[in-house]
Amino acid sequence: MTRGYHFGPFLVSPQTRNGKLNGQWIVTIPQSVTGGKRARKYFKNRKLADFFAKRMEKRYRRGEFSQPEPSPKTRLTFRQAVEEWKELQKLRVSTKKKRAISLSTDEFRMNAVMPFLGNDDLADIGETRLAQFQDYRTRQGRSPATINSDLKTVVQILNWAKRNGHIDTVPRVERIPEEPSNDMIPTPAEVARIIDNLPDRLKPLVTFLAETGCRSGEAFNLTWDCVSLSDGYVEFKPKDGWTPKTRASVRRVPLSRKLIAILRHLPKDGDYVFRGKSPDKPIGSIKKSFSTAVTKAEIMRDGELARITPHTLRKAYATWQAIDHKVPQRVLKSLLGHSPTSLVTDSHYVIPQDEAVKSAVFELPTLTQKGDDTKRPNGDKVATDEKSINAPDQSLA
């Protein structure tokens, strides 16, 4: 049986996929009942579909014309929605549409969200509820940046829910204002001091980060098949187990002669350029060693030890290239792996330092004082005191 039948205005019919019955049933609710678009409710078997349609017909005959009861889809809790959303994200990771580390970050953020929103019905999560979540995280002592990041992932899940018919709209909520970061960009000479204080095995890697401006993950996962020492460039592109951050991150970056010489002398007994303790595994993290080197280099700002991380080198590269070397922004975006339309490069990576700001002092020209008007043409004298201002104009006598 493939044709449907009616209970009043409600059509009950078997569901088909690719021309074949799949065992599920559908109740179609017309616009006259919904008051808007036609709706469909899905049921595991014919008995449940008939029961729903009969009940709706009774309400219809009584003249209620109320909205139909929500389907199991709209009754999803936020926790259930997250689980379904994660399955899609895993498929995106396996098809290289999303990085595995991005999914791990999303899952970490959801650990903070679940105690507050996990048991909420999706339909009940509105602007007020999200504002309450912001207040909840603020009282936990979390920074505005952390809360905004958590909420960004929540909105991703709600957008997924809307696309799949679980909710009608996605609530809007204001981001919590974030204090602008006071990034300190080291000079090239200061970066050289940091490198000089690193263990020998990390010096080539940090030099590479500073001279290419690449992300740490891009350097960690760089393999020899993506390096051309003869032509002087490296390529960042997807490979098994790793994907660049965005499509724009797939790029080719030139190497300096110094960097080419450094790479040429590295061991090539494994796939990775900057190998870990095992030749077949990349370096995992350099934060601890890097922090120790910064301390030993004694880089100070305003009497305090400067806070410099491996990611600071990426911002330093962008700043040096934009301000010192006048590299066009379009070229700089390409080198950094930013989209041509991205505003991130100029707003977060190119950071004018104190020296550049001080050199931009502007001073108006000094006006000629009284008694020093011999160089001014007639009619161009400047009144400099009350007496001269109130004196009669002799040309009118």
Which CATH architecture is the domain 78-163 placed in? Answer: Orthogonal Bundle (1.10)
Q: Residue 32's pLDDT band (boundaries 50, 70, 90)?
A: confident
Closest CA to 158 of 134, 130, 132: 130
The DSSP secondary structure of 336-395, one letter per residue, reads HT--TT-SHIIIII----HHHHHTT---PPPPPPTT--TTSPTT-----SHHHHHS--GG
- Locate tokens 């999803």: which residue? 76
Contact 339, 248 (CB under 8 A): yes
The residue-averaged pLDDT of 114-136 equals 94
Beta bridge partners of 236: 251
* pLDDT surpassing 90 at residue 255: yes
**Which pLDDT tens digit goes with each residue over 130-185?**
999 999 999 999 999 999 999 999 999 999 999 988 888 999 889 999 886 667 89
Query: Residues 379-386: what's their mean pLDDT?
Result: 47
Choosing among 1.10.443.10, 3.40.50.10890, 1.10.150.650, 2.120.10.30, the CATH entry for 188-354 is 1.10.443.10
The whole-angstrom separation of Cα 158 and Cα 155 is: 5
The top-scoring range by mean pLDDT among 2-11, 46-55, 176-185 is: 46-55
